[in-house]
Chain A
């Protein structure tokens, strides 16, 4: 497992009130799972939302559910609602 590094995580607007008014959160992580855990630790009010299911975009690639995807240094990371299909 690679070393944790600083990641700036963008949230969707509706999550701002649960992240103390921020739409960006800075955490240390190397994978999607570590990143989400660190975001919850920083803003516990986000736990319900994240546990209800979210997807993560890393450099534009949408990771629907995996918690083990590596996040490279300098990657653009965005939390989006969980994607499913019909």
Chain B
């Protein structure tokens, strides 16, 4: 699908109306995952492995079953058998089978009359573990002799002869990299590492479930994809997806982490066993230990550059640690690494490696931020050593329409050059770098996604509109949907109410991921509105007794298309809707498709940082985000995505990391020890919205939610390295790491 003539004259698009769910959210009325209760509900709690790797020899629940208030206990034996591939992996993660694969892996679950009673009963479950050797580091896990997490997990194409913990491989490139390096005036090669971080949504996973003996179930939960919850629960409980109706609650942050399913099948299994509604809410420590952190990475980068800044070749090897299951995003890391640069010679390879850690989950542009950290650090060092301006060098080598991407495609219309030009022109870039400070610049790239989408738009008799979409609203998307529908129909923003429909009400919708919601549900909303308009024009044509092709829609009215069509008073949407029962019945527009025109997006971040060389602490000074949004529907929420991604990136760069002890247990499973940025850590975050329209969307929208986390790791590392006078090669750049680097310099 290509929209060659992107709409340009807008009434509403680009304005900043208040969000439709706003009042609910500032008064405490909005219902999130843990906010719902059902009459007679039980509370559940999950017993988790204290070991990083252990055989589960037996589980004795007899004492717990007799405890006060306990109504039911489930273990792996209560779930479907015979699953294969992806669904087997999901079940294995939801409830351990023969082995506990990481500290925090679920072993059993209890439902009781109160949350306290359920937690008390966990202590009475006796598990006979045989503790096994474990491995939590990616490089260690690839070595001969490392404990094997699971034999036979490797995907197609994994090179033979590697350790069984290596389960995925990707390689690509073009040109002759060795010739390219020979051609360079300066070649820099180095190794970089990043640690696993957590998405850190403030709302823990929570659900309320009920299920009868007939396999019919209901789930209320906080998720980025309730249709996916229904699908996974169907498989894991041995019933059909359509028998489980899932309603998405308000969601208290996701960032990719709530694309996975962890607790809903457990609550359903307990509900079925007890014949009572079951509420299950993770504690914060469970969120850290058992829900998806991002992958950690170890990366070798080599780049050649001429004295004039021309990059002659780039090579990257990326090893991604994805926890106890296949699926680390190494492929994306490799594909994104050199995406900003039009290189004649480039090669990249990636390994997906298992360890005894929780299964990694998507986290905003999965795989890309660490790649940018490694590559952009080397580019910065090349600029420093050759005395070149970092933005000029990036402009000189920038990917642009028609240039060949590092992963093989020829770029369509992209906005990297526009972002770099905007960065160069931004006042931030021309201000003096603070004394004792450093400035960092970085590019970032993410693909964005379309995905299965279904939308329904129904008129009410009073001329207002009920819009049903199937993508949970994770950042204000209901406002954007209302705006797009109102723009098309020519009615007021406030006359549209957007609802996230449950799984029984709408066709399948892919998860809210891949920065797809404003793009795909937005496109579907526009198309559903256009479908509605066709139907409205038909009703007007019938009333006027003319051909429906002789009627067009403008600013909320059906109008005859010219003198030949006849002279008729324009007919408003409200007027047509008021008579719809008698003129053919309800008017509902809809659209179902898998839009395949998601536009990629690039960003450039500029940051100033100061480093205290005595304490090793860093303070972030000025921060500017420049990103291509294609077209900003609601600029405030676009800016919000830019700022939020930058803030998460600052945390990843400076503080956040999963710390494992020698015993393989997570040592910092709480917000006190896993410190995310607080208000006093951060400056204001300036934003520049660049708009290079995406031809795959009727208004030119590109996804914006993920690209914003791609540049900050590198931009801050460059700023810190320039301030400290020593290249920082490992994240996070916590004070001990900075002091160590200064010591060794």
Contacts and interface: CB of A to CB of B under 8 A. Distances in A.
A62 interface: yes
Nearest to A61: B412
A17 B408 CA distance: 17
Contacts of B598: 62, 64
Interface string B694-727: 0010000001001000000000000000000000
B696 A81 contact: no
B335 A81 contact: yes
B409 A84 contact: no
The bracket for how many chain A residues form the interface is 20 to 34
Nearest to B516: A85
A13 interface: yes
Interface stretch (B167-175, B182-190, B425-433): B167-175
Contacts of A78: 408-409
A69 interface: yes
Interface in A1-20: 10, 12-15, 17-18
A2 B562 CA distance: 37
Contact of B156 (A12, A13, A48, A84): A48
Contact of A85 (B155, B349, B448): B448
A2 B450 CA distance: 25
Contacts, number: 102
A12 to B, nearest CB: 4
Q: By CB atoms of chain B within 10 A, which of A49, A59, A64, A76 has the most?
A: A64
A65 B155 CA distance: 19
Interface string A16-56: 01100000000000000000000000000000110010000
Contact of A81 (B170, B361, B410, B513): B170
B86 to A, nearest CB: 10
Given A13-B171, A14-B169, A64-B451, A86 B255 contact: yes
A46 to B, nearest CB: 9
Contact of A14 (B170, B362, B515): B170
Interface stretch (B35-43, B269-277, B363-371, B373-381): B363-371
B412 A80 contact: no
B596 interface: yes
Interface in B132-176: 155-157, 169-173
Interface in B200-256: 255-256
Interface of B: 2, 155-157, 169-173, 255-256, 259, 331-332, 335, 347, 349, 361-366, 407-412, 446-451, 513-516, 594, 596-598, 600, 696, 703, 706
6 contacts: A59-B410, A64-B451, A80-B335, A85-B362, A85-B365, A85-B706
Given A59-B412, A84-B449, 17 more contacts: A12-B170, A12-B408, A13-B347, A14-B171, A59-B410, A60-B410, A60-B412, A63-B596, A81-B332, A85-B256, A85-B362, A85-B446, A85-B449, A86-B255, A86-B361, A86-B366, A86-B706
Interface of A: 10, 12-15, 17-18, 48-49, 52, 57, 59-66, 69, 76, 78, 80-81, 83-86
